[in-house]
């Protein structure tokens, strides 16, 4: 492919007042830079043509983007401005005829805008095409300065604007297409003679114009696409917009929200029709939920696959799989690698981790199941615990179909309960228990009559 992309993500985020890198601040649970990377990837850039400039919190940013692909990263040790950031990634200019520059703190840029502006850029044979937007409150964005014929002249940063220029409401999105050769020539000409004392990438536009290059603007119809976050207030604003955008899409797709209070759903979530989402529910990551479910209230579902007609009430689920017609909650935690097959019932105060629970099995109260393979139609009484960890190693618990685990059974792994077997209430069980048997581990009850201590207590009262 004859295009490459540079994402600027080294900034200090002073205005965000965060000790971490600004681009890792999250919108709907996904770091802002993740949104930008997804849109760039969706536009068809191969990973090796995408370069990311990192600096503040470089390790955190690098670790995160490595999960999305094998991108090139460039270190900007000192933050001397957006122009300086691009200089660090100059290698990317060898990779294609045209280069796209984007900011890691403006998450809503989409592949549609990226590709349409490229079209405009190549069709007009521009040396630079700036993606702009007209917004009611141009705030701290760079202003687009045009000549009397409407041609693009330059970009002026807010701090450097005259009072008249401040009134301009066409702003720079921070997304640009450059001819690589034109940008290469402009970079050494950037200076720090401005109000911030930084190398502004925005000055490249004026420089290209002054050398008789061709500069154009691609005005984005949807002005939300350009929004960036420099402060916590901006970030909240982006979250609010993104949140309602996802909820509106889901409403169109037949998902029900009796009220949207406290509901945050990530942009990648897929939810089937007639599913109802109740207040204080957060759904994030690659979560897929089927039809006719009731999710919430007060639930957090992450990277989890949920079937149809499932009820999750006050449930936290992380990287789990839930079949059809499952009922879970209230106060349930499904930790990674939990698989609940169809018709499973999970009651209150139950935690399940790395375990497969068979069809129609019931775990109704106060129970922990970890590292286990549980068959179908098994019944757990109240307060059962798998003791899967001996302090050094973890072992599995295996329970056959139709087994009946009595209240307060401790299953010390490795342990295997055969099909149809029963464990007596209060038993601590280990080893291999045959099918169809009863295992009871309980000392015989001893009755001591006329218990002196209790009669003393009663006399005292």
**Closest CB to ligand UD1 among residues 169, 410:** 169
**Closest CB to ligand UD1 among residues 89, 417:** 89
* Exposed/middle/buried for residue 149 (C-beta within 10 Å: 0-12, 13-18, 19+): exposed
Residue 228 touching Ca ion (CB under 5 A): yes
d(Cα 21, Cα 434) in Å, to the nearest integer? Answer: 57
CB of residue 244 to ligand UD1, shortest distance in Å: 21
Active site residue 450: no
Of Ca ion, ligand UD1, none, which one sits near residue 361, judging by CB under 5 to 8 A according to partner kind?
none
Residue 389: DSSP 8-state: B
CB-based closest residue to ligand UD1: 142
Pair 325, 341: CB distance under 8 Å: no
Pair 289, 301: CB distance under 8 Å: yes
Cis peptide before 414 (omega within 30 of 0): yes
Structure tokens given for 60: 């955190």
d(Cα 405, Cα 389) in Å, to the nearest integer? Answer: 20
Residue 117 touching ligand UD1 (CB under 6 A): no
Of ligand UD1, Ca ion, none, which one sits near residue 186, judging by CB under 5 to 8 A according to partner kind?
none
Q: DSSP labels for 46-105?
A: -GGGEEEEEBTBHHHHHHHHHTT---EEEE-SS---HHHHHHHTGGGGGS-SEEEEEETT
CB of residue 32 to Ca ion, shortest distance in Å: 10
Residue 30 touching Ca ion (CB under 5 A): no
Pick the binder of ligand UD1 from 29, 34, 104, 206 (CB under 6 A): 104
Pair 261, 243: CB distance under 8 Å: no
Helix and strand tally (H, E) in the chain? 9, 35
Residue 194: DSSP 8-state: S
Instruction: State the distance between the two ends of the chain, measured CA to CA, in whole angstroms.
Output: 89
Of Ca ion, ligand UD1, none, which one sits near residue 367, judging by CB under 5 to 8 A according to partner kind?
none
Which of the stretches 220-228, 409-417, 419-427, 440-448 binds Ca ion when contact is defined by CB under 5 A?
220-228
Size of the site for ligand UD1 (CB under 6 A): 32
Pick the binder of ligand UD1 from 29, 31, 34, 81 (CB under 6 A): 81
Residue 246 touching ligand UD1 (CB under 6 A): no
Please report where in the chains the tokens 């990311």 appear, as a residue. Answer: 52
- Return the residues of window 18-77 that contact ligand UD1 according to CB under 6 A: 22-23, 53, 55, 76
Pair 49, 95: CB distance under 8 Å: yes
Residue 105 touching Ca ion (CB under 5 A): yes
Determine which helix (DSSP H) or strand (DSSP E) holds 235, and give its type and residue range: helix 232-252
CB of residue 239 to ligand UD1, shortest distance in Å: 17
CB of residue 103 to Ca ion, shortest distance in Å: 6
**Closest CB to ligand UD1 among residues 223, 420:** 223
Q: How many CB atoms lie within 10 A of CB 134?
A: 15
128-134 and 311-312 strand pairing: unpaired
**Closest CB to Ca ion among residues 30, 302:** 30
CB of residue 83 to ligand UD1, shortest distance in Å: 7
Residue 230 touching ligand UD1 (CB under 6 A): yes
Pick the binder of ligand UD1 from 29, 142, 347, 400 (CB under 6 A): 142
Pick the binder of ligand UD1 from 58, 61, 106, 355 (CB under 6 A): 106
CB of residue 268 to Ca ion, shortest distance in Å: 24
Pair 131, 182: CB distance under 8 Å: no
Catalytic residue of the set 84, 121, 341, 365: 365
CB of residue 21 to ligand UD1, shortest distance in Å: 8
Residue 105 touching ligand UD1 (CB under 6 A): yes
* Exposed/middle/buried for residue 430 (C-beta within 10 Å: 0-12, 13-18, 19+): middle
Overall residue count recorded for the chain in this entry? 461
CB of residue 291 to ligand UD1, shortest distance in Å: 40
**Closest CB to Ca ion among residues 11, 213:** 11
Pick the binder of ligand UD1 from 3, 38, 80, 317 (CB under 6 A): 80
Q: DSSP labels for 258-287?
A: S--TT-EE-TT-EE-TT-EE-SSEEEESS-
- Return the residues of window 152-211 that contact ligand UD1 according to CB under 6 A: 155, 157, 171-174, 200-202
Which of the stretches 100-108, 268-276, 342-350, 403-411 binds ligand UD1 when contact is defined by CB under 6 A?
100-108
Please state, in angstroms and as integers, the Cα–Cα distance from residue 453 to each residue in 456, 457, 461, following that order.
Answer: 5, 6, 13
Q: How many CA atoms lie within 13 A of 311 on its CB side?
A: 11
Kindly list the catalytic residues. 365
- List contacts with ligand UD1 (CB under 6 A): 8-11, 22-23, 53, 55, 76, 79-82, 84-85, 103-106, 141-142, 155, 157, 171-174, 200-202, 228, 230
Residues that bind Ca ion in the complex, under the rule CB under 5 A: 105, 228, 230
């Amino acid at each position: 492919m004859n295009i490459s992309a540079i994402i600027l993500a080294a900034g200090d985020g002073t205005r965000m007042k965060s000790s971490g890198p600004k681009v890792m601040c999250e919108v709907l649970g996904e770091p802002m830079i993740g949104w930008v990377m997804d849109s760039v990837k969706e536009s068809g850039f191969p990973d090796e043509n995408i370069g990311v400039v990192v600096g503040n919190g470089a390790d955190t940013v690098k670790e995160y983007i490595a999960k999305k692909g094998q991108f090139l990263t460039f270190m900007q040790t000192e933050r001397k401005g957006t122009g300086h950031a691009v200089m660090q990634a100059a290698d990317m200019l060898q990779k294609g005829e045209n280069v796209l520059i984007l900011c890691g703190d403006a998450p809503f840029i989409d592949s549609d805008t990226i590709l349409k502006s490229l079209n405009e850029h190549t069709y007009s044979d521009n040396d630079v095409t700036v993606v702009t937007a007209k917004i009611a409150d141009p705030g701290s964005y760079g202003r687009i300065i045009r000549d009397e014929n409407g041609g693009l002249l330059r970009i002026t940063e807010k701090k450097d604007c005259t009072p008249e220029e401040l009134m301009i409401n066409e702003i720079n999105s921070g997304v640009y297409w450059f001819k690589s050769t034109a940008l290469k020539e402009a970079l050494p000409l950037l200076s720090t003679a401005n109000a911030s004392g930084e190398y502004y990438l925005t000055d490249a536009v004026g420089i290209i114009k002054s050398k008789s290059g061709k500069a154009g603007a691609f005005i984005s119809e949807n002005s939300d696409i350009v929004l960036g976050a420099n402060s916590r207030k901006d970030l909240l604003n982006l979250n609010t917009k993104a949140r309602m955008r996802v909820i509106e899409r889901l409403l169109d797709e037949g998902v029900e929200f009796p009220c949207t209070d406290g509901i945050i759903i990530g942009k990648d979530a897929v939810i089937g029709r007639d599913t109802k989402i109740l207040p204080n529910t957060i759904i994030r990551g690659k979560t897929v939920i089927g039809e006719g479910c009731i999710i919430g209230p007060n639930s957090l579902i992450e990277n989890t696959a949920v079937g149809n007609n499932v009820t999750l009430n006050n449930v936290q689920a992380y990287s789990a799989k839930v079949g059809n017609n499952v009922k879970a909650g209230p106060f349930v935690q499904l930790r990674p690698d939990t698989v609940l097959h169809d018709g499973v019932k999970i009651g209150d105060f139950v935690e399940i981790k790395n375990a497969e629970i068979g069809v129609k099995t019931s775990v109704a109260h106060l129970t922990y199941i970890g590292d286990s393979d549980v068959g179908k139609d098994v019944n757990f009484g109240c307060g059962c615990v798998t003791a899967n960890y001996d302090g050094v190693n973890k072992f599995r618990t295996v329970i056959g179909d139709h087994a009946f685990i009595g209240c307060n059974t401790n299953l010390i792994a490795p342990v295997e309960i055969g099909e149809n077997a029963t464990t007596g209430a209060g038993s601590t069980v280990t080893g291999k228990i045959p099918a169809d048997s009863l295992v009871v581990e309980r000392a015989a009850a001893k009755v001591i009559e006329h218990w002196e201590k209790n009669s003393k207590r009663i006399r005292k009262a």
